[in-house]
């Protein structure tokens, strides 16, 4: 038989040390187990989450009215060495920079079929730590990439922009929640499949966590 000693109190931050800690209990004689930090807080606090994409110096890319094969309008490349961190993609979005879009469209993504050489970084893109911690990313944003083999494309979200949309409209961000993982020296190809509109130009954004893991 075990005897537990606890204290009914509001949660508070306590210094970690060698001394004994009194468990926080509820008024119903149960152990208080509560998530205090917001969801996903720890990855940001630990410096493993990053976000980035086009900035105001980027001119953007036009959509295409045909399903892509080996051509990708954009790419988020994992510049880590083999055995380094993989990128768990958490969020993708697409913004209308200029022009008038056609009604409707799909944001498509694909993983490069194999390791590729690091692409040339596009002008007007940047990435940063989600906590401004000391960790930095080796991610590279690139435009107008031609893949060596046709990948498998999948739509991740559809356009919510009408044909009358003005610049600063955003294609609804899609929460991938880490379902797509970009290994070191692979790239996440991104493509917007839509009508021509009146010279619309778009720019992508993303959020991801960098995790050292064994990919099977």
pLDDT band at 52 (very low <50, low <70, confident <90, very high): very high
- Alpha-carbon separation of residue 151 from 135, 178, 191 (angstroms): 31, 20, 12
pLDDT, mean of residues 117-134: 92
Are 107 and 63 spatial neighbours (Cβ–Cβ below 8 Å)? no
Cβ neighbors of 39 (< 8 A, separation 6 or more) are: none
**Angle subtended at Cα 75 by Cα 44 and Cα 127, rounded to the nearest 5 degrees:** 35
pLDDT, mean of residues 77-81: 96
Q: What is the pLDDT of residue 134?
A: 83
Are 125 and 55 spatial neighbours (Cβ–Cβ below 8 Å)? yes
pLDDT band at 117 (very low <50, low <70, confident <90, very high): very high
Q: What is the pLDDT of residue 171?
A: 67
pLDDT at position 61 over 80: yes
Record the tokens describing residue 44, joined without a space: 């940001």
Q: What is the pLDDT of residue 197?
A: 78
Cβ neighbors of 10 (< 8 A, separation 6 or more) are: none
| Mean of pLDDT over the chain | 85
**Angle subtended at Cα 208 by Cα 91 and Cα 203, rounded to the nearest 5 degrees:** 55
Are 143 and 214 spatial neighbours (Cβ–Cβ below 8 Å)? no
pLDDT at position 40 over 70: yes
- Alpha-carbon separation of residue 102 from 69, 161, 172, 194 (angstroms): 22, 8, 16, 7
**What global pTM score does this model have?**
0.83
pLDDT band at 53 (very low <50, low <70, confident <90, very high): very high
Query: What number of residues does the chain have?
Result: 216
- Termini Cα distance of the chain: 44
Gyration radius of the chain over CA positions:
22
């Amino acid at each position: 038989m075990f005897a537990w000693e606890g204290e009914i109190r509001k949660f508070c931050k306590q210094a970690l040390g060698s001394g004994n800690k009194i468990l926080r209990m509820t008024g119903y004689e149960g152990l208080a187990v509560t998530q205090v930090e917001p969801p996903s807080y720890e990855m940001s606090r630990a410096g493993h989450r990053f976000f980035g994409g086009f900035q105001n110096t980027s001119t953007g890319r036009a959509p295409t009215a045909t399903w892509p094969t080996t051509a990708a309008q954009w790419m988020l490349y994992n510049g880590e060495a083999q055995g380094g961190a993989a990128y768990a993609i958490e969020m993708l979005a697409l913004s209308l920079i200029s022009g008038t879009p056609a009604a409707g469209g799909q944001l498509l993504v694909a993983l490069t079929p194999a390791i590729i050489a690091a692409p040339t970084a596009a002008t007007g893109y940047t990435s940063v730590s989600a906590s401004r911690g000391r960790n930095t990313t080796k991610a590279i944003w690139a435009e107008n990439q031609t893949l060596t083999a046709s990948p498998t494309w999948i739509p991740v979200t559809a356009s919510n922009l009408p044909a009358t949309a003005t610049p600063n409209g955003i294609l609804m961000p899609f929460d991938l929640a880490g379902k797509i993982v970009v290994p070191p020296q692979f790239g996440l190809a991104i493509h917007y499949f839509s009508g021509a509109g009146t010279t619309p130009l778009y720019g992508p954004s993303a959020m991801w966590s960098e995790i050292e893991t064994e990919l099977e």
